[in-house]
Amino acid sequence: MAVTSASRSPVRVLIVGAGAVGCFYGSRLHRPDADTGEHVLVSLVCRSNYAAIVERRGVEMRTRAYGDYLFSPEFVFPSIAAASEKGIRWDYVVVTTKALPDLGDDSSVVSPVATPQTSIVLIQNGVGVEEPYRRRFGADVQILSAVTVVSAEQISPGIVVQNRWTRIHVGPFVKGRWDQSGTVIGENGPDHLAAKRFVQMLKDGGVGDAEACTEQQLQVIRWHKIAINGSMNPSAVLSNGTPNAEMTEDDELRHHLRQCMEEVFRGASAVLGIPFPPAGLATADKLLKSIGRNTGARPSMLVDWEHGSRMELEVILGNPIRMARERGVEMPRLEAMYGLLKMAQKRRDEKVRDNKERHLQTKL
């Protein structure tokens, strides 16, 4: 028997970080007029694009997969405080900020809207992104962890372009919440069910290749993505902006990239306690081949560097390095790139600050 949307109270979703990924998935989840599946109402917490989105009465979406449309959220908030004042009980708080633990702890940002009835969904790159949330909220709050492959960009405030195919995996992050012997961590435990429900909501919104998985499977996917992002992104920056495919065609760099990937595989194996990559996931050679075919691709870490923005160094390099090191595995190539890029970023930011101060002084 079909449950009509009118017979159920709507699912309330709050997106924190209304950038490319947040607006893309938010716009697919939002189904104010659903006649099948769940009735989902999505709201946005914005920052720099608040005025632009209010003025446009939504976010202008230009998508490869779903055409062009205006995404008009239920509410658009200028801050978390404003969202919290509304007094809504959010079912899902979806975090789609860039993961920059070196700049601040985003778990403190979402704290005013997180309740024991809320699932926090982290759609971010890297590994170790869940830990600050578990530390802050303890066992009380449900955390879902998601990895996506999507090529999306906010080309100007309130305009989001999605270029290619999408893929998203969602799994529970139960570590530190349920003791490992409990049945609640099983396939029918509440955290798994919340992940499955979220995936169903994405599917209802037309995201065909959304997939629910277990905690371990999700972490495997996160680490496997590090083999790509931990090798390609920093190398693209350090080679002065060489696109991915071109790097794989250079003998010396190809060797370097393969060795980086092997390092990540050894680290992942030690951290997750399984042979890596497990059956079904691409080896270093396969990864290099497919990266070589994808001409023109430039990692977002490179774009961030060129824009003078913060790079996601900690979750893509720092956390994997530290997690592997704790288990006695060193990743010397990644460690070198991490140390060099962290310092390059620091020097760049210092120079910008000095220039601004000098500019200010000459004005006075």
Ligand X SMILES: *[C@@H]1O[C@H](CO)[C@@H](O)[C@H](O)[C@H]1NC(C)=O
Ligand Y SMILES: NC(=O)c1ccc[n+]([C@@H]2O[C@H](COP(=O)([O-])OP(=O)(O)OC[C@H]3O[C@@H](n4cnc5c(N)ncnc54)[C@H](OP(=O)(O)O)[C@@H]3O)[C@@H](O)[C@H]2O)c1
Asked if residue 319 binds ligand X (CB under 6 A), the reply is no
Question: How many residues bind to ligand X according to rule CB under 6 A?
Answer: 12
Query: Which residue of 96, 118, 219, 229 would you call a contact of ligand X, by CB under 6 A?
Result: 229
Q: For residue 231, what are the CA distances in angstroms to 316, 335, 350?
A: 9, 11, 26
Chain residues 286-315 in contact with ligand Y, contact rule CB under 6 A: 300, 312
CB of 98 to ligand X, least distance (A): 8
Q: To the nearest 10°, report the CA torsion of 71, 72, 78, 82.
A: -130
- Residues 95-154 touching ligand X, rule: CB under 6 A, are 125, 151
Q: How far is the CB of 165 from ligand Y (least distance, A)?
A: 11
CA distance linking residue 222 with residue 228, whole number of Å = 10
Q: How far is the CB of 229 from ligand X (least distance, A)?
A: 4
58: left (phi over 0), alpha (psi -120 to 50) or beta: left
Tell me the C-alpha distance between 272 and 66, whole Å.
37
DSSP 3-state assignment of 162?
strand
Compose the 111-140 pattern: x for residues touching ligand Y by CB under 6 A, - for all others. Answer: ------------xxx---------------
Residue 233 lies near ligand X (rule: CB under 6 A): yes
For residue 228, state whether it binds ligand X (rule: CB under 6 A). Answer: yes
Q: How many residues does the chain have?
A: 364
**Residue 19 found at the interface with ligand Y (CB under 6 A):** yes
By CB under 6 A, is residue 299 in contact with ligand X?
A: yes
Reply yes or no: is the peptide bond before residue 277 cis, omega within 30 of 0: yes
**Least CB distance from residue 243 to ligand Y, whole Å?**
16
- Of the candidate spans 30-38, 127-135, 275-283, 294-302, the one that interacts with ligand X by CB under 6 A turns out to be 294-302
Residues 166 and 144: their CA atoms lie apart, in Å, by 19
Enter the tokens of residue 33: 């007029």
Pairing of the two strands 59-63 and 11-16: unpaired
Distance CA 233, CA 302 (A): 6
Reading the block at residue 125, the tokens are 């790159």
Cβ nearer to ligand Y, comparing 27 with 97: 97
Q: Which window, 39-47, 215-223, 225-233, 333-341, contacts ligand X (CB under 6 A)?
A: 225-233
Options 173-181, 183-191, 278-286, 299-307: segment touching ligand X (CB under 6 A): 299-307
Q: Rounded to the nearest whole angstrom, what is the least distance from the CB of residue 98 to ligand Y in the complex?
A: 5
CB of residue 216 vs ligand X: minimum separation in angstroms? 22
Instruction: Identify which of residues 185 and 226 has a Cβ nearer to ligand Y in the complex.
Output: 226
Give least dist CB 150 to ligand X, A.
8
301/319 Cα distance (integer angstroms): 16
The amino acid present at 354, given as its one-letter code, is: D
Return the residue of 268, 301, 317, 321 that touches ligand X, per CB under 6 A. Answer: 301
Backbone angles phi, psi at 67, to 5 degrees: 75, -165
User: Tokens 């693209």 — which residue?
Assistant: 236
Closest listed residue to residue 163, CA positions, set 71, 293, 63, 245: 63
Binds 229: which of ligand X, ligand Y, none (CB < 5-8 Å by kind)? ligand X
Query: CB nearest ligand Y: which residue?
Result: 19
* Cβ–Cβ < 8 Å for 72, 97: no
Which CB, 260 or 311, lies closer to ligand Y? Answer: 311
Is residue 232 at the binding interface for ligand X, with CB under 6 A as the rule?
A: yes
Q: Least distance (Å) from ligand Y to the CB of residue 183?
A: 33
